Amino acid sequence: MILSLVNSDCDGEFKIMCYFSSWTGIHPDAKNCTHIVYTFARIEDDNTLTGVWNNPLKDFKNNKDPQLKVLLAIGGQDYAIRRANEMMSKDEYRQKFVISTTKLLRTHEFDGIDLNFEPSEALGPPSTPNPQLIDDKKKLSKLCKDLQEEYTEEASRTGRSRLLLTVTISGIKKQLESRFDLQELAQCADWLNVQTYDYRGSRDKIAEHHSSLMQAIHAENDDKDLNQDSAIKYILDSGIEPSKLLVGLPAFGKKFRLTSDLHDLGSPATFVGSVPYTELCRNMMSGWQRVFLDDRKVPIMIKGDEVIGYDDLQSMELKINYAKEQRLSGIFIYPVNFDDSSGQSCNQGKFPIVTLVKRLTSNYTVSCLPLTTPPLNTTVAPKNRTKIITPKWKLTRPDYLLPGVGFNKYHHRKTYNTGYLLTSMYTTVCLHFIFLFLLLV
């Protein structure tokens, strides 16, 4: 039984999980990340996990921070997800893979594994028009259960600490419904990483923000779900404990090139690519205009016919506070390599993103109390009062209305006439007389 071994993770430290690619040679400062995830391992054609030859963070962990946990991620891009889908198609393939993971993780001194079968456009656009997906959500649940049983048995047999198991899931309601059995995954995984970014990208034909915290004020239909708040609330409403969830903090933005005379969000555009945080900082020093979207709680930057939706320290602080208010287990930064390791690109010190998360969660313990959903704290970060950008084509229409505004300003004004006022006064006087009569009697 694994239910008693994989408990809700409240009353513990706030996790700061940093996704890391070894090819950059960038290591975050010691003791700022509680977990580092090395990306990405490969599944070989024989269904074994042998696509990693060493653990580049082993010496870093032993020499700098022995308490650091280092995990190995599998997935990330189309070809890896396609290979994983094939591996999970038969019981014997899956069992061979499960056993091979224990051997590889122990050999290279990893502390666990992350099943990351959500394609990320931070690594580049999909290699096919239709990104690879796991075609049956039962496959992922079976793999998760088998891995947890294997790691539990291995720890019991050897006396070593059990290997960790995490699963990265979508941040879009439709995909959560169709591709993930949340109840099953929450039972077998130590925690779930919610990919609350990449809401927009290469498949879109309009310029939009890819990692909004809150819903856009003009959002309609499925677009209402393309934000962090909607994803987390949907998962919590499904009965998942808040302390089983980590929320994603992207260290990159998404650039779009406008293709019409309109220069607002929602305007026709083509996707250009992902932009690392360090490049975003340099943009701000070279003439780009920053606009903070008060409805979505995130900024964009504009220059000429290009628009970038991204996160800066202001919006990141709001997202971190949101995670604390919702009693989530932590934050994961994707990828930490895009943070400013030198401190020279952004003039915010070394690793400003990681440092911000650490500062805001230092000595903070994940609460076990029932969730009460307090109001979002939007006053901690510096206030940037700018108007909400509305597509120009909507502004030119007299019938375009923001939700809850009404047809025009006069519709919110009650019209009174003399008869109405006299009737109201007469009624009031009568009620007073009746009340006094009852008191005297």
303-352, pLDDT tens digit by residue?
999 999 999 999 999 999 999 999 999 999 999 999 998 899 999 999 99
Is residue 397's pLDDT more than 50? no
**DSSP state letters, 40-70:** EE---TTS--------TTHHHHHHH-TT-EE
Please state which of the ranges 39-43, 64-68, 237-241 shows the lowest mean pLDDT: 64-68
The whole-number pLDDT of residue 54 equals 75
Mind listing the pLDDT tens digit for each residue in 176-194?
A: 998 899 999 999 999 999 9
| Terminal Cα-to-Cα distance of the chain (whole angstroms) | 74
- Alpha-carbon distance of 75 to 225, in angstroms, equals 25
Closest by Cα among 305, 301, 299 to 317: 299
- Alpha-carbon distance of 424 to 31, in angstroms, equals 70
State the residue for tokens 């054609």.
Answer: 45
Is residue 414's pLDDT more than 60? no
Is residue 427's pLDDT more than 60? no
Return the amino acid letter for 21: S
Is residue 389's pLDDT more than 80? no
Percent helix, strand, coil in the chain (nearest 5)? 35, 20, 45
Is residue 65's pLDDT more than 50? yes
Please state which of the ranges 76-80, 207-211, 272-276, 290-294 shows the lowest mean pLDDT: 76-80
Mean pLDDT across 198-211: 92
- Alpha-carbon distance of 134 to 120, in angstroms, equals 14
Q: Using DSSP, state whether 18 is helix, strand or coil.
A: strand
Residue 36 vs residue 128, higher pLDDT: 36
Please state which of the ranges 71-75, 104-108, 320-324, 430-434 shows the lowest mean pLDDT: 430-434
- Alpha-carbon distance of 88 to 134, in angstroms, equals 9
Please state which of the ranges 14-18, 201-205, 276-280, 331-335 shows the lowest mean pLDDT: 201-205
Q: Cα–Cα–Cα angle for 240, 241, 247, nearest 5°?
A: 90
Give, in order, the Cα–Cα distances in Å from 257 to each of 16, 190, 212. 34, 41, 19
Q: Return the sign of the alpha-carbon dihedral for residues 299, 301, 302, 306.
A: negative
Mean pLDDT across 376-390: 45
> What are the backbone dihedrals phi and psi of residue 336, each rounded to the nearest 5 degrees, phi first?
-65, -20
Q: What is the mean pLDDT of the chain?
A: 82
Q: Using DSSP, state whether 138 is helix, strand or coil.
A: helix
Token pair in block for residue 105: 């993780």
Q: Are strands 112-116 and 69-75 parallel, antiparallel or unpaired?
A: parallel
Closest by Cα among 94, 390, 438, 374 to 266: 390
- Alpha-carbon distance of 75 to 131, in angstroms, equals 13
Domains in the chain: boundaries: 15-251+311-378
The whole-number pLDDT of residue 417 equals 44
The whole-number pLDDT of residue 391 equals 41
Is residue 368's pLDDT more than 70? yes
Token pair in block for residue 125: 């656009």
Q: Cα–Cα–Cα angle for 93, 70, 125, nearest 5°?
A: 65
Angle between helices 78-87 and 91-107 (to 10 degrees): 120
- Alpha-carbon distance of 217 to 106, in angstroms, equals 49
The whole-number pLDDT of residue 183 equals 96
Q: Is the peptide bond before 117 cis (omega within 30 degrees of 0)?
A: no
The whole-number pLDDT of residue 42 equals 87
Share of the chain above pLDDT 70, in %: 75
Q: Cα–Cα–Cα angle for 22, 27, 28, nearest 5°?
A: 135
CB atoms within 10 A of CB 101: 24
Q: Is the peptide bond before 119 cis (omega within 30 degrees of 0)?
A: no
116 has which bridge partners?
75
Architecture per CATH, domain 15-251+311-378, reads as Alpha-Beta Barrel (3.20)
pTM comes to 0.81
